Every structure is written in C-alpha cells, then in structure tokens.
Amino acid sequence: MIEETFHQISPSEFFYRNRDLAGFSNPTRSLYTAVRELVENSLDACDQKGILPDVHLSIKALDSEQPDPKQYVLTVSDNGPGIDPKYVPLAFGTVLYGSKFGLKQSRGMFGLGATMAILYGQITTNKPVTVKSNVDGKTQEEFVLLLDIQKNKPIIQKHTKKDHLKRGLSISIVLEGDYSKAGSKIREYVYQTHLITPYASIKFDGPRKAEDDHQSYLKIIRKMPPPPTIIKPHPYGIDVETLRRMIADTHYQIPTVDNKMIAKVRKELGLQKKNLDVKGILDRAQRRWKNLSRPVRIVIALISFLQMEFDSLSKIRIDDIDVDNKKLTFWDFGESITRTIEMNPSSFYYKQLANTVQGETLTSFLAKRFQRVGLTTAIKFAEFAKLKPEKRIGSLTNEDLVKLTDSLQKFDQFLSPDPGCLAPLGEEPLGRGIMKKFNPEFAAVIQRGASAYSGFPFIIEMGIAYGGNIHSSGIEIYRFANRIPLLYDEGSDVVIKVVNEMDWPRYKVKGDVPLAIFSHICSTRIPYKTVGKENVADRLEIERELRLALQFLARKLSIHMSKRGKVEMAKKRANLYSKYIPLLARFSTKLAGKKKEPDCRQMIKVSEGIEEV
Amino acid sequence: MKKSKNSKIAEKKRIELLELLKNRGLEIYDDLEKSKFPKFSIPSRSVSNIVYDKKLRQYILGNSTAIRSAGNMSQLRAFTQLVWLAFFANQLLSEQKTSTLRDIYYSSQAFEVDFEDQPESDNIIVDLEAVLARAREDFQIFPEERSSIFGDLTIEYTVPGYEGKRSNLSDHPDGYLIGPSLNTAEFVDTSAELVIAIEKGGLFTRFVEEKVDKKFKAIIVDTAGQAPRSTRYILRRLHIELGLPVVILTDGDVYGEHIAMVIKSGSANAAHLRELTVPDAKWIGVWATDIEKYKLPTIPMTESDIKRIYELQKDPRYQHGNWKKQLEVFLKIKRKAELEAFSKYGLTNITDKYLPQKLELAKSL
Ligand SMILES: Nc1ncnc2c1ncn2[C@@H]1O[C@H](COP(=O)(O)OP(=O)(O)OP(=O)(O)O)[C@@H](O)[C@H]1O
Ligand SMILES: [Mg+2]
C-alpha cells in the first residue's frame, strides 16, 4: 500500500485550487466576482442589523492610459455595523473565517468571498487591502493589511484611528481586471441588485466618464424585510460530519480546574475560608450532593481519583478523561510532567464522571439541538432508529452515527422545516421593482408558501411581465437567490430549465413575445452548483415549487393575452371592414348597373363595434 | 350535311348569364343600402356533399350549402373576392373578352382584393361556378392547358372580330386548339359520324397522318392526358348538338381507365357543374384484357398505380360491368401497357388492326 501524506494547504494554494469554482478564473470574471463579493457582504451586514443599506461602489483605473486588463482600485463602502477592530484582520486575512455558518438566509455562505477577492488582488498586484471600520459612530479604525500567504495570517502594515461620525465599513482592494469586458455585466449586476433590494440605495461610479458608469439608485421602498434569524437545523438533510460536530460541542466540556473554578467549589461546599483534607472534602460534598452544580460535582469526582486537596489541585491541568479505559491524564505544573492514573470503575464518582463525559441522552440531544423535535417525537424516533432513547451521545460508535444520520432522513414524522427564519422580498416590493424596470403592459407576482428540500426551508417568489420596454427576442429571465442576481452560467440553472420546459402555447404565448420572468429563491442554504454562487442545482422540491409558481403566473398571463387578443381582433376587424365594404359597394354598383354607390359609412362604423358573429 | 340545331345558343347563354350576374349585384346593392351584411349561399363542395347521381350518371353536389357572409370577419375577404370576380366576369361578358385563370389572378391586383396566390383565385372561380351553377368557360375564363381537335367540322366563330367567319377543322394538319373561340363557335356542318378521343398527342398526330378521320369518318380529339374542362365541354357539344357517338382510347393502365370515366361521367372536382359529361361515351381501350389478348409489351405497375386501383374500387361507378372487371384484371396482372406498345407490331398496327376491331366491338357495348 502506498502511504498517503497529508498536509495543510496554504491560502494561496487554496485560492489557486479553487479560483475557477469561486469565480476568479480571468481578469473579466474576477473583477465582476470581486464586486459581487464586496457588495453582498455590505448588504448582508446591513440586513443582519436591520439597517437600510447605503452602499457605494467605486471602480477606478490606477493608470487609465493603459489597455485592459489593468489594475483597478475597487472600493465598497457601507453604512452597516462595521467589524469590531479585533476581528478585522481575521475576517479579511484568513480563508474560511466567516460569521454566517449558522442556518439563516444570507447572501454569503462560505466565509471566503471577501478573502478570495483580497487574495486575488494581492496575487495579481502585490498591493495591500485597506479596511476602514467604524462600529460606534465615533472612531474609525483603518487597517492596511497584507496576507502572509505561507502562514495563512494577516500582516498589519498600518493601523490608525481617527474621529469619524459615520458608522460602517469600507474596503478597498487593488486588483487586475478587465472593465471593458466586465463593465456591462457589472452595471447589470448593480441594476438588478437594486431591483431585488428595493430598500437599499446603491451608488455606482465606474472608471469611464460615460453616464452609465455613474448611477445612483435610490430606495424604492423604505421598509426593510425583517432581519433573518438563526435557526437550529432540521433533522432532514443533516449529514454524519455535521452530526459529529454537533455532538462534539454538546459534550459536557471537561471543566478547567483553575482558581476561578476552585473558588466556585469552595463556595458551594461552604469552605470559602477553610481547608479540609481529601476525605473531609468528599464527606462534605456527599452531604450537599443534591445542591451541587454539575461542574462542581465533576471536580469532586476528580478530587476523589486524584486524592488532591484544593492546593495541589490548583497546580495541575486535566488533559484527558478516558472513560472507556478508566484512565485520567493530567499535567503537573510543578514537575512539568504528564501523569496518568487509573480510575476505579466501581466507585460512585466514576459513574458520575462517565455520565458527564459521555454527554446527554440521545432523546434530549435531539430535542434540544434540532428544530421540530420534541421529547415525544424523539422517543418515537429512537424506537424507529432502533437506538436506546437513553443512550449517551458521547458513546455512539461510528456505525451508530451512520445509522442515526440515516434514520433521521427516513423518519417521516418530523414536521417540515420552520421557514420563519427566511426573509423573502414580498410580492409588493417585487412587483414595484418589475414595474419600475419594464413599465410593462401586464405584470403579476406570486410568493409561494414555504417548502423544504433536504432539511432546508425555502420560499420561491416569482414575477412575470409582458410588453413595455421588454425586448421580444425570447423570454428574458432574471434569476435571484437570497437577493443576489445571478448573471453567469445560465445554461445549467434550474430556473432556466423550468422556464424552457413550460408548455407556453398553452398559455397563449406563441413565438417571440416581449416576456420577462423574475425568479427569487430564498433559503437557509441555496443549493449552488459551485462556490461561485451563480447557478442553482435542480433539486426536485425546488423545481416543483418553481414550476407551480410559473404555472400560476402563466395562467394570469394567458387571461391577459386573450383580452389583448380580443382588442387586437376588434382592431383587425375595423381595418378589414373599412377596407372591404367600400370595395363591395363599388363592385355591386357596377354589377347592378347603378350609378350611385350605396352609403356604407354607417355600416363600417357599426362593424367596428360588434363582436364576432 | 347537318346544320347546327343550336345556332345562336352561345349568344342566348351570354345574355342569360349577364342577367344572372346583374340580379346578384342588385341583391348586394340593396343589402348595403339597408346597412345589412350581404351574403351568398354556396353549395358545399366538401367530400361529404359530393354524391353520385345514378340518373344523371355523374357526380353532383348534395343539398348542403354554406353561407358566405360579409358579416363574418373571417369570410369578408373571400366574400369581397367573390363579388369582385362576378364584377369582373360581368365585364368580360359584356365586352366579349376572354381571360385565363392566371389572368384573373393578375387582374385582381389592380383592385386590391388581395389574393394570396393563384390557387386562391382559382378556388374563388370554382365558388362562383357553384353559386351561379355555370362553368367558368361560360363567363369567359379558360385554363391555360389546351388540347386539340381535327376532322371535318365547319364552325362559325362568334368571338368579336371573327363573327361569321368560318373554318373547317381539317384545314390544319396539326389540328385546332380547343380554346375560347372554338368553345363559343357554332357548329355549322360535318360529315363525321364518330368522335375518337385519344389520350396522347403522339397518337393524335399518327391518327391524322393515317387519315383515321377519313377512314373512320371521325373527328379526332387529343385530350392531352386528363381532359381539360373545355375539351370535355366540346366533346359534350359534339355529342349533343351533332348527335355523334364518342369513343375513348387511352393507355392500358388505371389512369387511362379513369380518363375515360371522367369524360363519361365527370370528376368529383366539378361536381357542381352539369354540362361537362358525355354519359354515353365509350371506353374502347386499352383494356387490361387487351394486354393479354394483343400480347402487348408491358411495364410493371408502381405502388401508386396499385393504390389508385384500390381507391377507384370504392367509387360507385366502378362497381359493375367492364369498369369493374378491368380494374380487377389490372390488379391481378399488376402490369400496364401504353398505346405506343402496338408499335412493336408496326407503326400502323394500332390504326389498321386494333382500332377497327375495337370500334366493331364498341357497337355491342
Ligand atoms: N461590510 C461588512 N460589514 C460587516 N461585516 C463584514 C462585512 N464584510 C464582511 N464582513 C464579515 O466578514 C466575514 C467574512 O466575509 P466573507 O465574504 O469572506 O465570507 P461570507 O460572506 O461569510 O461567505 P461567502 O464566502 O459566501 O461570501 C463575514 O462573514 C462577515 O462577518
Ligand atoms: Mg461574502
């Protein structure tokens, strides 16, 4: 067997390995992606704190004389909460550092968008990133950062503070880009972002003088959708790895036996001032056992095995409690060595320790850590999964874990995921955006009820528009996911698939008509096909909801189309009659051998008004 | 020497038709004056309304009619086109001018009645025939296809500029074209006792060369394949006005048999017209049974030949007698023979041997 070697990869390696997936494949796409990542971070930050966003995006060429691709300064500033100066270097200096891993609806998901953009900038131009953060509306702290690519660590080149009244974050990177090619997509992105975020003001300043490079989009509405909330995961869709992590952090942590803890133990035993030997402590603890807190009970158990009173206890650090092998390992500060002692399994304290280390019971774990699971359901579930309800989660073997994960997907009595955490845009704002963009002859919108795919709740919002300033060369499709416009990789997107599979003639849509469709998918987890976040995979449940939404809208459209057909018919009729009736008059006059033609004006007028006979 | 019994018949017909058109015009005029949408009722030409009339021995239209109304938006254009055509026919008749199907299509363009193509205008012409129960030749519209006629028949033209002028149809060895002037000419005199209609131009020429007209006292007509309506019209006039029997000679195949049948009793396409048939005409060959009997060189039938046989077997006119029998033999031998096949036995074999035998046989048919 060949032995595999594992090693950690550096951020730059990470970047190179994932640049295509993350949307940094070439100067055109990279400029676009960098704009996206920064703007979306700003909007996310404001959403989370319920602030109506004001975002300013600016792209300036370092040397405008040079041909593309060249270096651009990309700056995005917002009026959001800013980032606590402590975390600025971490948030922007390391890959996979993000605050959005919890389950809630946000644009960012992976914790690498901004860092990828910064890395890309640094790799292509060797220039640092400048972050200005103001969290309190009083001082602004400015950081100039380079990433130490070897160590995955930020290097702070400059850190200054100054008085400043406006809250928010501003981030500025220098990167290689091709605006001549990316420009139209960036402008479209800003515009569509404005449509799907009608409560935000977005100002855009591009590198060119042209008018379309200097646009201010003002808020269309001033009411924010409620900020998304963090929720517990739903059992459907959980995987083994996530479950393992959840169990790991529910484990009752081995308490650190520091001075603070010792003080706590003394207090609960009423020994603040008094020192007792080991036996004395244990006796006293026995008498008060019922009133002791859990951490204190554990310390007592440790004392029983270590045979140490408070003083000695403060000179060691517990390293490991191996319940299965009945071994207790600790570090002795005094002698600077690791010692291991045996624990007597028949002792009352051993059980106490085992319970704690092995964690809570399966049922209480499920009920506490998952949404839509109560104790009763948990017990029913345990039966279904053929696992003991009182089984300690710390004692689950790998096979147990797989079995548990499996059964969680299969058990059909969990209520569907709670959509309360989702923040769709709402029918009215969506409709307004559509009216503003197209000034259409007809428009309709719908928000479907919440639904779920593998444990993640989602909501589909959709709009349709006909006529106005929509072009009539095929259906225009505008895709959004968690308020992000998706402009690339249309080919493989589920929305496109659903639109293309519609039986349009059935809805009186024939040939190339001026038709536009807006689709917005909100979810705690959008099933993107890549980390570039550009196209949504075709999950059965999502596809179905999209289809139902589209059919609903298409039915409304078809009613409009038949009305419209009637009006057109009447027009056509009027034209026909005003053309042919005079001809009939003329021919029949000749045929009949008359001189004067009959007067048909009345007839033509009447025929314009009548319905088909 | 026989004199045409129906002299001045053409003129009488013309006056009648003008009157008919005028009445139609008046109806429309009156409707328009009353702000009423004018309409026509047109005998339906759909397949379900075409029936075979045993007494008349031809296909006719049944009783169902379709209303074409100016009040119906989808019919307005066709209605106007129909009225325009009536107007145009009225003009042709009064000025004694003729026109072709193609002419009509182009003439219409001056009046903006919007025929999309010639098939559309052709179709409106058939509509007018049905409305008036008159053939288009009656209102001076002729197809482009022409067939020929040869033999001792003196005619007197009635077309403007030639009124009173006479010709004898044996004056020109290529024969006379059967066109509008011949169709409207009056028959003055003939020595013929028989009309032979023949499917092919080549054989027609051979018959003239071999003086079949003299030998058999015959007028020879080239139908040039499926006989055009003007040709069928002439054949009918020769039979009715001059009392001449008509015999038909075609290729020995299912199409030939049907050419003969159409001359005798019309086609479904012209079921709305009554004056195009010669119910007493006789098909004398080439029969399927002749192929064997005269040992003619043959060619195999094609798929479509065979399909056509099955189709015709459903036609009521092929349900009995020789018509039925020949179809069955064709189907059995699955081979066919052209008129030219007789040349195997010498160029004059067909006129010297086959024709006399067949004419003799025809008397007993
Ligand atoms: N404008 C901002 N205001 C406040 N906090 C911000 C801002 N931009 C980024 N952050 C913080 O920095 C973190 C890292 O951002 P980053 O774009 O790298 O990851 P993400 O947005 O969580 O995920 P994704 O990779 O999908 O974009 C965010 O999770 C957020 O906590
Ligand atoms: Mg982000």
Report how far residue A393's alpha carbon sits from residue A364's, in angstroms, rounded to the nearest whole number: 10
Q: How far is A592 from chain B (nearest CA, A)?
A: 5
Candidate of A21, A49, A57, A100 to mutate for ligand 1, largest count of ligand atoms within 8 Å of Cβ: A100
Least confident among A79-93, A146-160, A273-287, B103-117:
A146-160
Report the separation in Å between the CA atom of A22 and the middle of ligand 1, taken as the mean of its atom positions: 15
Nearest beta carbon to residue A593 from set B22, B80, B91: B22
What are the E-state strand segments in A248-360? 316-322, 327-332, 337-342
Q: Which residues of chain B lie closer than 8 angstroms to A576, CB-CB?
A: 73, 76-77
Which is the catalytic residue, given B29, B106, B162, B345?
B106
B65/chain A closest Cα distance in angstroms: 18
Average pLDDT of A497-526?
91
Distance of alpha carbon A114 from alpha carbon A509, whole angstroms: 43
**Nearest residue of B to residue A571 by CA position?**
B73
Is pLDDT larger for residue A580 or for residue A396? A580
CA of A49 to the centre of ligand 2 (A): 16
Q: Look at B80 and A580 and tell me if their CB atoms are within 8 Å.
A: yes
B-chain residues within 8 Å CB-CB of A583? 80, 83-84, 111-113
Is residue A275 scored above 90 in pLDDT?
Answer: no
Comparing A146-160, A484-498, B15-29, B308-322, which segment has the lowest mean pLDDT? A146-160
Is the CB of A592 less than 8 angstroms away from the CB of B113?
A: no
Contact B33 A587 (CB under 8 A): no
Question: What SS3 state is found at A202?
Answer: strand
Domains annotated for chain A, with CATH where assigned, are 11-217 (3.30.565.10), 235-249+359-410 (1.10.8.50), 252-358 (no CATH), 419-556 (3.30.230.10), 562-612 (no CATH)
Using CB atoms, pick whichever of B37, B83, B111 lies closest to residue A588.
B83
- pLDDT band, residue B12 (cuts 50/70/90): confident
As separate numbers, helices (DSSP H) first and strands (DSSP E) second, chain A gives 18, 17
- Scanning A106-165, the segments in alpha helix (DSSP H) are 113-125
Tens of pLDDT along A122-167? 989 999 999 999 999 999 999 999 887 766 678 889 999 999 989 9
Cα gap A479→A487, rounded to integer Å: 7
- Check pLDDT > 90 for residue B1: no
Q: What is the mean pLDDT of residues A502-511?
A: 89
Residue at B279: amino acid letter: P
Residues in Cβ contact with A323 at an 8 Å cutoff, skipping those fewer than 6 apart = A353, A354, A357, A358
Q: What is the pLDDT of residues B111-148, one digit of tens each?
A: 888 888 888 998 899 999 988 888 888 888 887 767 89
Query: Of A84-93, A495-504, B291-300, which range is least confident?
Result: A84-93
Full-model pTM: 0.56
Count the residues in chain B.
365
Given this model, what pLDDT does residue A2 score? Answer: 36
What was the pLDDT predicted at A171? 96
pLDDT at A101 over 50: no
Query: Given pLDDT bands bounded at 50, 70 and 90, which one contains residue B24?
Result: very high
The pLDDT mean for chain B works out to 89
**Which of A148-152, A270-274, A511-515 is the least confident region?**
A148-152
CA of A315 to the centre of ligand 1 (A): 42
Query: Under an 8 A CB cutoff, do B70 and A581 touch?
Result: yes
Q: Find the ligand nearest to A43 CA.
A: 1
Residue % of chain A over a pLDDT of 70: 89
Tokens 């006792």 -> residue: B193
ipTM of the complex: 0.73
DSSP state for residue A471 in the 8-state scheme: -
pLDDT digit string, tens, across residues A555-572: 999 999 888 888 888 888
Chain A residue numbers touching B95 (CB-CB < 8 A): none
The answer to whether A583 contacts B113, with C-beta atoms less than 8 Å apart, is yes
Whether B35 and A603 lie within 8 Å, measured CB to CB: yes
Residue A135: Cβ-neighbour burial (10 angstroms; 0-12, 13-18, 19+): middle
Lowest mean pLDDT among B47-51, B149-153, B305-309: B47-51
- Nearest CA to CA, how far is B38 from chain A (Å)? 9
Interchain proximity A589–B29, CB inside 8 Å: yes
Using an 8 Å CB-CB cutoff, list chain A residues near B33.
Answer: 598-599
Three-class SS state of A302: helix
Q: At what angle are helices A540-592 and B9-33 packed, to 10 degrees?
A: 120
Q: How far is the CA of B83 from the centre of ligand 2 (A)?
A: 75
Interface A-B: count of C-beta contacts within 8 A: 86
The shortest C-alpha distance from A561 to chain B (Å) reads 20
Band of the pLDDT at B101, cuts 50, 70, 90?
confident
Least confident residue range of A392-401, A431-440, A470-479, B277-286 = A392-401
**Residues in B touching A575 (Cβ below 8 Å):** none
| pLDDT level of residue A231 (50, 70, 90 thresholds) | confident
Q: What is the reported pLDDT for A247?
A: 78
Ligand 1 atom with least separation from CA of A115:
18
Band of the pLDDT at A11, cuts 50, 70, 90? low
Name which of A358-367, A587-596, A601-610, B87-96 the model is least confident about.
A601-610
Instruction: Give whichever of A224-228, A257-261, A583-587 has the largest mean pLDDT.
Output: A583-587
Which residues is A129 bridged to in the sheet? A145
Residue A398: band (very low, low, confident or very high) from pLDDT cuts 50, 70, 90:
confident
CA of A440 to the centre of ligand 2 (A): 34
Shortest distance between the Cα of B40 and any Cα of chain A, in A, equals 13
pLDDT at B79 over 90: yes
**Segment A467-484 mean pLDDT:** 88
B59 counts as catalytic: no
Residues of chain B numbered 15-74 and touching chain A (CB < 8 Å): 21-22, 24-26, 28-29, 32-33, 35, 37-38, 70-73
- Interface check for B113 against chain A (CB to CB < 8 A): the answer is yes
Confidence category of residue A439, pLDDT binned at 50, 70, 90: very high
pLDDT at A8: 47
Distances (CA, A) of A249 to A227, A361, A363, A456, A496: 27, 14, 16, 22, 41
pLDDT > 60? residue B3: no
B73 → closest Cβ in A573, A602, A603: A573
**Nearest chain B residue to A596, by CA:** B29
What pLDDT score was predicted for residue B2? 40
Nearest CA to ligand 1 atom 2: A42
- The mean pLDDT of chain A is 85
**Is the pLDDT score of A108 beyond 70?**
no
Segment B200-217, tens digit of pLDDT: 888 898 899 899 999 999
Answer yes or no: is pLDDT of A96 > 60. no
Index of the ligand 1 atom closest to the CA of residue A78:
1
The tens digit of pLDDT for each residue in A237-255 reads 777 877 887 777 655 556 6
SS3 assignment for chain B? CCCCCCCCHHHHHHHHHHHHHHHHHHHHHHHHHCCCCCEEEEECCCHHHEEEECCCCEEEECCCEEEEECCCHHHHHHHHHHHHHHHHHHHHHHHCCCEEHHHHHHHHHHHCCCCCCHHHHHHHHHHHHHHHCCCHHHHCEECCCCCEEECCEEEECCCCCCCCCEEECCCCCCCEECCHHHHHCEEEEECCCEEEEECCHHHHHHHHHCCHHHHCCEEEEECCCCCCHHHHHHHHHHHHHHCCCEEEECCECHHHHHHHHHHHHCCHHHCCCCCCCCCCCEEEECCHHHHHHCCCCCEECCHHHHHHHHHHCCCHHHCCHHHHHHHHHHHHHCEEECHHHHHHHCCCHHHHHHHHHHHHHHHCC
Say whether pLDDT at B63 is over 80: yes
- Give the model's pLDDT for residue A575: 86
- A178 closest CA partner among A257, A290, A66: A66
Q: How far is the CA of A225 from the centre of ligand 1 (A)?
A: 20
Which pLDDT does position A6 carry in this prediction? 42
Give the torsion sign (CA, A587, A588, A591, A594). negative
**For ligand 1, what atom is nearest to the CA of residue A108?**
26
CB contact under 8 A, B28 and A588: yes
Compare all CA atoms of chain A with the CA of B80 and give the residue at the minimum distance.
Answer: A584
Please list every protein residue whose CB sits less than 6 Å from any atom of ligand 1.
A 37, 41-42, 45, 78, 80-83, 91, 98-100, 108-115, 169
pLDDT of residue B144: 73
Cβ atoms of B60 and B267 closer than 8 Å: no
Contact A592 B33 (CB under 8 A): no
CB B278 within 8 A of CB B244: no
The backbone torsions φ and ψ at residue A242, rounded to the nearest 5 degrees and listed phi first, read -65, -40
Please indicate whether, in this complex, the C-beta atoms of B29 and A591 are within 8 angstroms of each other: yes
| Tens of pLDDT, residues A16-36 | 677 777 788 899 999 999 999
Nearest CA distance, B9 vs chain A (angstrom): 23
Domains of chain B in sequence order: 5-142 (1.10.10.10), 191-362 (3.40.1360.10)
Q: What is the pLDDT of residues B147-193, one digit of tens each?
A: 899 999 999 998 888 888 999 999 998 899 998 889 889 999 999 99
Q: What is the pLDDT of residues A535-558, one digit of tens each?
A: 888 888 899 999 999 999 999 999
State the residue for tokens 């409707």. B31
Task: Choose which residue among A44, A57, A77, A129 to substitute to test ligand 1 binding: the one with the highest number of ligand atoms within 8 A of its C-beta.
Answer: A44
Q: What pLDDT, on a 0 to 100 scale, did the predictor assign at position A244? A: 80
* Angle (CA) A33 A547 A221, round 5°: 55
Q: pLDDT at position B250, please?
A: 95
Tell me, what's the pLDDT at B139? 86
